[in-house]
């Protein structure tokens, strides 16, 4: 099982591609790592272009909603550092395990590049787990600024509303009804967010055609 590759940890720090489209698959794999062990998760992304910030935050919100459950506390962070090494060093804690993709690399002298996991393990002396077969694709260009911003805001509203709802559920007695309500709220939240993501992609494709 892939989760057996995770060494003892308290928190998983997941380095998210700028151009990552496969949110559902990534969230599923991270949930399989974290939930059975009750681990915390931090999704970390870099943003060097202010124009890409709304998309990056939408992606992080989607990943958090798809991963979070009653056993798994999920946080997100958008760093404006230009270097993964600097960003990870800034937030790394003891008992963290860093998770990155086999496709992530950092530039060396000349035109050579080195895999990010090797750099992190060597420079920071932290355990690093590499996700294989982690697809990367170029993001679709925005249809219009107004349409993209409107669709991009919906996941935030959904996450905020369900956060308030889950706070109310958390005040109930921890009986079977509590766990049923909490699981249902997480599933509905994830489903609504995925509908927003698919709607945004459909709008982009419609304008491209």
Domains of the chain, residue spans = 2-131, 145-208
More confident residue, 86 or 156: 86
In the chain, pLDDT over 90 holds for what percent of residues? 22
18-37 average pLDDT score = 82
- Residue 119 burial by Cβ neighbours in a 10 Å radius (0-12, 13-18, 19+): buried
Per-residue pLDDT of 184-204, as tens digits, reads: 888 888 878 777 766 655 555
- Say what the pTM is: 0.62
How many residues are recorded in the chain? 209
- Selection from 43, 131, 41, 122 nearest residue 87 by Cα: 43
What per-residue confidence (pLDDT) applies to 139? 43
Mean pLDDT lowest among 43-57, 128-142, 165-179 = 128-142
- For the chain, give the mean pLDDT: 79
Q: Is the Cβ–Cβ distance between 193 and 66 less than 8 Å?
A: yes
pLDDT band at 22 (very low <50, low <70, confident <90, very high): confident
In the chain, pLDDT over 70 holds for what percent of residues? 78
How far apart are the two ends of the chain, measured CA to CA in Å?
42
Domain 2-131 class, CATH top level: alpha beta
What per-residue confidence (pLDDT) applies to 140? 42
- Selection from 88, 79, 28, 65 nearest residue 187 by Cα: 65
- Selection from 167, 155, 156 nearest residue 191 by Cα: 155
User: Which pairs with CB-CB distance under 8 Å and at least 24 residues apart come from 150-154?
Assistant: 151/196, 151/199, 151/200, 151/203, 152/54, 152/55, 152/57, 152/58, 152/200, 154/196
Q: Is the Cβ–Cβ distance between 147 and 208 less than 8 Å?
A: no
The residues with which 106 forms a beta bridge, in sequence order, are 114
What per-residue confidence (pLDDT) applies to 209? 45
What per-residue confidence (pLDDT) applies to 74? 95
pLDDT tops 80 at residue 55: yes
Per-residue pLDDT of 91-139, as tens digits, reads: 999 899 999 888 887 776 656 778 888 888 888 888 999 887 654 444 4
pLDDT band at 44 (very low <50, low <70, confident <90, very high): very high
What per-residue confidence (pLDDT) applies to 151? 63
Q: Is the Cβ–Cβ distance between 119 and 106 less than 8 Å?
A: yes
pLDDT tops 50 at residue 167: yes
What per-residue confidence (pLDDT) applies to 208? 47
Q: Residue 37's CB: how many other CB atoms inside 10 A?
A: 14
């Amino acid at each position: 099982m892939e989760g057996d590759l995770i060494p003892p940890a308290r928190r998983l720090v997941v380095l998210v591609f700028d151009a990552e489209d496969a949110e559902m698959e990534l969230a599923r794999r991270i949930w399989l790592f974290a939930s059975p062990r009750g681990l915390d998760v931090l999704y970390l992304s870099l943003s060097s272009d202010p124009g890409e910030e709304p998309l990056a935050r939408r992606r992080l919100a989607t990943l958090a909603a798809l991963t979070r459950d009653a056993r798994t506390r999920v946080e997100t962070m958008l760093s404006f550092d230009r270097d993964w090494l600097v960003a990870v060093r800034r937030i790394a804690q003891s008992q963290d395990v860093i998770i990155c993709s086999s496709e992530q690399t950092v530039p060396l002298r000349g035109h050579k590049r080195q895999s990010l996991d090797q750099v992190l393990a060597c420079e920071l002396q932290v355990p690093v787990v590499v996700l294989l077969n982690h697809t990367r694709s170029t993001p679709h260009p925005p249809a219009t600024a107004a349409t993209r911003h409107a669709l991009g805001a919906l996941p935030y509203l959904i996450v905020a509303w369900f956060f308030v709802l889950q706070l109310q559920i958390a005040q109930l007695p921890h009986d079977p009804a509590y766990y049923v309500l909490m699981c249902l709220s997480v599933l509905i939240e994830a489903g609504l967010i995925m509908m927003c993501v698919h709607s945004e992609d459909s709008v982009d494709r419609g304008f491209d055609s």
